[in-house]
Amino acid sequence: MSLLAVLDPAVSLAFHAVEGLSQVIPTSLAIVVFTVILRLALFPLTRAATRGERASAQLAPRVAELQKRHRSDPERQRQEVTDLYRREGASPLAGCLPRLVQAPFFTVMYRLFTLSVIAGHDNVLLEQTVFAVPLGDHLFTAATMPHLLVFILIYLAIGGVAYLTCRQLRAGGPSPSAAGAPALLAKIGPLLPFGTVVVAAFLPLAGAIYLLTSTAWTYAERRVLTAAPAPA
């Protein structure tokens, strides 16, 4: 049994949810709706992560000062930084833990749209079509030019979201998690969203639709959260 097999019950639940939605709306739209519902459910975790990152960003200059002051005494350095976070009621892990909790949910969605068999039955979601292209088809198996155009349009949309996300990250400056990172990493960090286009090229059409919906949601969500005033 693979490590990811422990998520199979959750994959089965997600399958039945999307299949149920597909009884009343097209399957491709059901994927979009289910993804939005899932991201809404995860929104409190994302908000907590954003607040944690903001707190870390505000403390970053003071942390850097302590690290410089006690560079010759690592133990004292760690203690001083820990005391600073404790006094301010913050945690260096506050931005990471909520995102780690979200990881299994995204893994479930990935398996939902890449497994050909779920709970011992064929994944019929991948047999449905959008513009006559089966949702289980890949870019490299597109049979005709019209089929290929569907994939190209999806990838262009994902690329468009990646471009907006890149601009958003550059406008926001270095993320808190990148503080102290090597200069090269700080420069290429905002370009990483374009990696979603590469990932989508290796996913079936259903997975690409999910990826487009999820990345678009992430972009919009970040705009809302960064525009909101920081909690006192």
- At 178 the pLDDT is 45
- At 39 the pLDDT is 92
Q: Which domain holds residue 127?
A: 3-227
Examine residue 37 and state whether it is found in any structural domain, yes or no: yes
Q: Quick one: which H or E segment has residue 45? A: helix 27-69
Examine residue 149 and state whether it is found in any structural domain, yes or no: yes
DSSP 139: G
- At 156 the pLDDT is 97
Which parts of the chain register pLDDT below 70? 1-3, 94-95, 97-98, 172-190, 228-232
- At 96 the pLDDT is 72
pTM given for the model:
0.81
> What's the token pair of residue 90?
């913050």
Query: Is 45 in contact with 152 (CB distance < 8 Å)?
Result: no
C-alpha span between 202 and 138 (Å, rounded): 7
Q: State the DSSP string of 182-229.
A: -HHHHHHGGGGGGHHHHHHHTS-HHHHHHHHHHHHHHHHHHHHHHHSP
Tell me how many domains the chain contains: 1
Examine residue 232 and state whether it is found in any structural domain, yes or no: no
C-alpha span between 143 and 29 (Å, rounded): 23
SS3 breakdown of the chain: % helix, strand, coil, rounded to 5? Answer: 75, 5, 20
- At 225 the pLDDT is 87
Examine residue 189 and state whether it is found in any structural domain, yes or no: yes
- At 85 the pLDDT is 84
- At 180 the pLDDT is 46
Rounded to whole angstroms, the maximal C-alpha distance in the chain is: 66
Examine residue 203 and state whether it is found in any structural domain, yes or no: yes
